[in-house]
Amino acid sequence: NSSYTEKFNVIDDQKRVKVAQTLEGGCLEIGCSIQLVRFDIIEKSPSKSIIKSDISYAVKKEFQAKDPKPNIQCLAAVAQAAKYYLERANWA
């Protein structure tokens, strides 16, 4: 997918949830009418967490035969970068 612009619709630091909506670019250029990306941080212990991400999207009727799908590679790269940083951070 190409570059894109998004806005965060939900930022809940208490629940550790963030939801972003694509405004332009990305999968909207290949036939999606909406794309939402949700991030949940699930604490497993004081020193371990899981980042759960979910992509929801709808396809415009005229593009359904082409079956466009959002690219998750960018999300995977962000998760790996966060993991790398957090594992090396000095929290003391």
Give residue for tokens 């190409």. Answer: 2
Enzyme catalytic residues: 18
| Residue 38: Cβ within 10 Å count | 15
CA dihedral over 49, 6, 14, 39, signed as positive or negative: negative
